[in-house]
Amino acid sequence: MSKKERILIVSASIGTGHTQAARAIEEYWVAQNPEAIITHVDFLDTNSFSFDNLLKETYIKMIDVFPMLYDVIYRLSQGDKKGSAAQTALAWMLKRRMLKLINREKPDVVIFTHPFPCGAACILKRQNLIDVPLVAVITDFQVHQFWIYKQIDAYFVGTASMVNELCEAGIPAHKITITGIPVRRSFFEHRLTTYKPTYPVRVLIMGGGLGLGCLETALQRLDEVSGIDELIVITGRNADLYEGLMTLSHSMRTPTTVYGYTLEVAKLMQEATLLVTKPGGLTCMEGVTVGVPMVFFSAIPGQEEGNAAFFEQQGYARWARDIHNLEDVVAVLLNNPERLEQMSAQEQRWQIDGAANIVTSTKKLLGYSIG
C-alpha cells in the first residue's frame, strides 16, 4: 500500500486573502486525491489571547487607522538589513508554536501563504530542528523582504517580474516557479466567456474580507454617479461596518444592497458591470478569473499599491489613487462600454489556474505521482 500524502498548509488571517489562497490549494488537492491527509491551519487564529493575536490585531489596526505609519514601516522593513532584522525578530517569536505544529502533524511538506509563519519554520530549519520541505506561495504581485529565506525549498509566484525580484534578493532561479495565484474553483465556474456591460448597471464594492479601506466614503462617492442603477457592497467579517452601511443605505439615492461575509462573491462578480475594490492580491486574481473590469481604491501602501500598479499596467483595471475622485474614474468607464469590454477581454487572455499549478509543482518536488 502506498504512503498517504500528508500536507500541511499554513495561512494567517491578516485579511482573508492568505486564507482563501490556502483553501484554494486544499480544495484542488482534495479533488485530485481524496485520500490525501491535508491539514490547513490559520496560524494567527483569534481563538486564544496570545502574542500572535496581538500581532495580528496591531497589524490590522495600523492598516485601517494609520496607513501612513504602515507605509513607513513597510518601506523600512523592505531594506535588506532592517528588513532582515524585523523578519528574524518576528520569526523567533513564533517559532515555538510552529515547532509544536510540525511535530504534531508530521507533514511531507509545509505550504505557506503568509510570510510570518513561514519565517518561523525557516528559523527552525536553519537550527536543524525540522527537516521538511518548505514551500512559499506569494499572494501579491510584489515581493517583500519578509519572504526571503534560503531555507525555502520552492517559491510559487504570479509573474515573471517576481522571479526577477527574488533572484535579485539572492534566491536561486531553480527554486522559483510561475504558477499564478491560487483561486478557488467557484471563480472558474463563474468565469465570463463574453463580457457585455449589464443593464441595469450594477457596481460591486469590496474592501477585503475584513471590510477595510474607506468603504463608507467609497459608497457615498459612487452614489453621486448617475449612471449606476444598483450598488452592492460586501463588508466581510466587519460587523460594525455592516451595521453602519445598512443604516447609510436607507438614505442613499441609488438602491443599495449590503452583504456581510458571503460565499456568493464569485456569483456577485459575474453579475456585476464593474468591481470597485481594494487591490488585495487574491481579490484582483478572482476578478481576473471571472473577467469583470475593476477599479481600485484605498490601496494599502506597499503590497496593494504594487498590485494596483501591475493590474492597471496590464489593462485589467483603473486605479483611483485619491478616493475623492473615485466617482470620476467610475463614471468615465461606465460611459465607455467599449473600454469595459476591452478590459474584460484582456483579463480573459490571462487565465491561469494557480491552485492546479501549485499542486502539480509541489507533487513534483516531493516525487509524488501526478494525475
Average pLDDT over residues 246-271: 96
Average pLDDT over residues 51-65: 49
- Residue in the block written with cell 445598512: 246
Q: Is the Cβ–Cβ distance between 279 and 307 less than 8 Å?
A: yes
- The beta-strand segments (E) located in 101-199 are 109-112, 134-137, 154-157, 176-178
Quote the pLDDT of residue 71: 45
Q: What is the CATH number of domain 186-349?
A: 3.40.50.2000
Instruction: Tell me which long-range contacts 262-265 makes (C-beta under 8 A, separation of at least 24).
Output: 262/234, 263/186, 265/186, 265/206, 265/234
What amino acid is encoded at 364 in this protein?
Answer: K
Quote the pLDDT of residue 173: 98
Quote the pLDDT of residue 85: 59
Superfamily grouping for domain 6-183+353-366: Glycogen Phosphorylase B; (3.40.50.2000)
Statement: residue 63 has pLDDT above 70: no
Confidence band for 66, pLDDT divided at 50, 70 and 90? very low
More confident residue, 69 or 338: 338
Confidence band for 213, pLDDT divided at 50, 70 and 90? low
Q: In what order do the strands lie in the sheet with 230-234?
A: 256-259, 230-234, 202-206, 274-277, 294-296, 317-319
- Residue in the block written with cell 484554494: 24
Q: Is the Cβ–Cβ distance between 203 and 274 less than 8 Å?
A: yes
Average pLDDT over residues 53-71: 48
Closest CA to 60 of 116, 28, 15: 15
Quote the pLDDT of residue 214: 83
Would you call 370 exposed, middle or buried from its count of C-beta atoms within 10 A (0-12, 13-18, 19+)? Answer: exposed
Quote the pLDDT of residue 332: 97
CA distances from 363 to 3, 22, 29 (A): 14, 16, 10
Would you call 193 exposed, middle or buried from its count of C-beta atoms within 10 A (0-12, 13-18, 19+)? Answer: exposed
- Nearest-angstrom CA–CA distance, 250 and 256: 8
Q: Where are the domains of the chain?
A: 6-183+353-366, 186-349
What confidence tens digit (pLDDT) does each residue in 324-340 have? 999 999 999 999 999 99
- Nearest-angstrom CA–CA distance, 340 and 333: 7
- Nearest-angstrom CA–CA distance, 176 and 261: 34
What confidence tens digit (pLDDT) does each residue in 85-124 have? 556 677 788 889 999 999 999 999 999 999 989 999 999 9
Statement: residue 228 has pLDDT above 70: yes
